[in-house]
Amino acid sequence: MIPLAEELKVVIAIEEVWNKFLLSPLEMARYISEFQSPWIKAWFDVGNVLLYWYPQDWIHTLGNNIVKVHLKDFKRKEDAYAWVNLGDGNADWAVVRQAFADIGYSGSAVTELEGGDEAYPRDVSRRFDWLVLGRS
């Protein structure tokens, strides 16, 4: 796939998706580096790593290998786990925002939305601005 990615000038971005593969930022960074190709990078998902690691550690470790970002939030509870609205989970968004600033990330970020009425995406947009841009 790498020769085709190079020919087409597209990046193959690998995301950690709870399949018990690449469970730490060090494993992900090593995996990407083993390809020895500028066409293999990381698609980083803040919520996906909250189960077992701090997002800011992933961000600092992956650095400029991050080319795309998913924003989700996740809540660890005593006997359960749940996807929650942005800002209502375990992500420390001020620290996450600073980590992205530290590595100079200037790419795009998108959310993964549940279904809902018109008020829901408006609320997500407001939360996105608050969490990513530091404003309400």
Average pLDDT estimate for 21-37: 96
- This prediction has a pTM of 0.91
Domain positions in the chain are 2-133
- Residue 100's pLDDT is what? 96
Average pLDDT estimate for 37-59: 94
Helices (H), the chain: 2-8, 25-34, 46-49, 55-62, 93-103, 119-128
- Residue 135's pLDDT is what? 61
d(CA 2, CA 106): 24
In angstroms, how far is CA 119 from the centroid of its own chain?
Answer: 24
Any idea what the Cα angle at residue 19 is, between residues 14 and 22, rounded to 5°? 55
> pLDDT (tens digit, 9 = 90+) per residue, 2-18?
999 999 999 999 999 88
d(CA 68, CA 109): 6
> pLDDT (tens digit, 9 = 90+) per residue, 93-124?
999 999 999 999 999 999 987 777 889 889 98
For 100, other C-beta atoms within 10 Å of its C-beta total: 21
- Residue 66's pLDDT is what? 98
- Band (pLDDT 50/70/90 cuts) for residue 30 is very high
pLDDT-above-90 percentage for the chain: 65
pLDDT-above-70 percentage for the chain: 99
What is the homologous superfamily of the domain 2-133 according to CATH? Divalent-metal-dependent TIM barrel enzymes (3.20.20.150)
